[in-house]
Amino acid sequence: MQEKTFYYLYHKARGASREQVMEAAKLSAEEYDQLEQSRGEDVRRIQQDLPRAAGIGPDFVRLTRYIYGGSSDQEQGKPCPEAVKARSGEVIQLPAVERIPAPEISLRQAISQRRSLRKYSDQPLSLEELSFMLWATSWARDFRSGKNIETTFRNVPSAGSRHPFECYLLVNNVSHLAAGLYWYHPLKHGLVSLEESDDIADHVLDGCMGQEMVVRSAVTFILCARPYRAVWRYQQRSYRYLYVDAGHWGQNIHLAAEAVGAGACMVGAFMDEKMNACLGLDGEEEFVIYVAPVGKK
């Protein structure tokens, strides 16, 4: 029903007739009437926002200039957000960082041969190789806390070392690891299993608009942003930093993949509503920002 709701909202907000909406969203008359009653306010909001959306890019750049800023929540003494998301569940320990074999490839060679790779072999990634890629992108090498502050230090740059990301993984073909959806704990360097059903890969594929590399990969990294972790310090300018920081993370994924004889492809084309639903996210306090399938060459 989620997909039908999306197409209902999309076409209804653009003035399509009842018949046109029902055809585009594949709705029965009963389903259409239910959506009319439950989602009418959403349609009105989207209609109001459409003119703003048409020119949001320049407005975003202009209105996140420092001249529009004020006193941050940090300056006002408001509580610091957690540096790592709290999540319960047994942690599946990955091979220790200090025991991961150092790749033989040079940095120059990794950069030189980096390409976006969309087709992968059937060879699985090892746990050591997965551990290495998480070390390169998401592992917290240090955690510090003080008076109203929590900070992690990682192997990618981040504005103010706020690191406003959580890393999830769709595991498809990793040795000694069941297929399914996982969350990565950057302090414990381990995985928490979230879902091992056969359906989750199909849902991610659907959310990524049918790009089959996300399910044919050995593992697909799903990077999610928790913006307030940065907004607490940098206000609305933080939203610039989210995407800059995600780019740092993405380049490290590429280079780490090259180092283990694999390849990656960064994906920004996905249905936000569907991908957030896959992970149980509200789309505001936390939302999917980047997707990266990785597999052996």
Residue 211 lies in a domain: yes
Does 2 score more than 80 pLDDT?
A: no
Residue 66 lies in a domain: no
- Residue 148 has a CB neighbour count (10 Å cut-off) of 11
Instruction: Note whether 32 and 121 are same-domain residues.
Output: no
Does 71 score more than 90 pLDDT?
A: yes
Does 1 score more than 80 pLDDT?
A: no
Domain containing 227: what range? 71-296
Look over the chain and give the mean of its residue pLDDT values, rounded to a whole number. Answer: 95
Instruction: Note whether 92 and 45 are same-domain residues.
Output: no
Instruction: Note whether 139 and 270 are same-domain residues.
Output: yes
- Residue 63 has a CB neighbour count (10 Å cut-off) of 13
Does 214 score more than 80 pLDDT?
A: yes
Q: How confident is the model at residue 195 (pLDDT cuts 50, 70, 90)?
A: very high
Instruction: Note whether 12 and 138 are same-domain residues.
Output: no
Instruction: Note whether 252 and 175 are same-domain residues.
Output: yes
**Which pLDDT does position 100 carry in this prediction?**
86
Mean pLDDT of the 19-43 span: 94
Whether the Cβ atoms of residue 223 and residue 289 lie closer than 8 Å to each other: yes
Q: How confident is the model at residue 99 (pLDDT cuts 50, 70, 90)?
A: confident
Instruction: Note whether 48 and 75 are same-domain residues.
Output: no
Whether the Cβ atoms of residue 220 and residue 294 lie closer than 8 Å to each other: yes
Distances from the Cα of 227 to the Cαs of 113, 158, 237, in angstroms?
33, 13, 11
Residue with tokens 């190789």: 129
CA neighbor of 229 nearest in space, from 282, 186, 286: 286
Instruction: Note whether 205 and 239 are same-domain residues.
Output: yes
**Which pLDDT does position 136 carry in this prediction?**
97
Residue 284 lies in a domain: yes
Residue 99 lies in a domain: yes
Instruction: Note whether 236 and 198 are same-domain residues.
Output: yes
**Which pLDDT does position 87 carry in this prediction?**
87
Q: How confident is the model at residue 117 (pLDDT cuts 50, 70, 90)?
A: very high
Residue 186 lies in a domain: yes
Instruction: Note whether 170 and 30 are same-domain residues.
Output: no
Instruction: Note whether 103 and 177 are same-domain residues.
Output: yes
Instruction: Assign residue 191 the CATH number of its domain.
Output: 3.40.109.10
CA neighbor of 291 nearest in space, from 154, 82, 278: 278
Instruction: Note whether 44 and 84 are same-domain residues.
Output: no
Q: Burial of 195 by CB count in 10 Å (0-12 exposed, 13-18 middle, 19+ buried)?
A: middle
Does 101 score more than 90 pLDDT?
A: no
Count of domains forming the chain: 2
Instruction: Note whether 125 and 211 are same-domain residues.
Output: yes
Residues 124-169 have pLDDT tens digits of: 999 999 999 999 999 999 999 999 999 999 999 999 999 999 999 9
Q: How confident is the model at residue 3 (pLDDT cuts 50, 70, 90)?
A: confident
The pTM score is 0.94
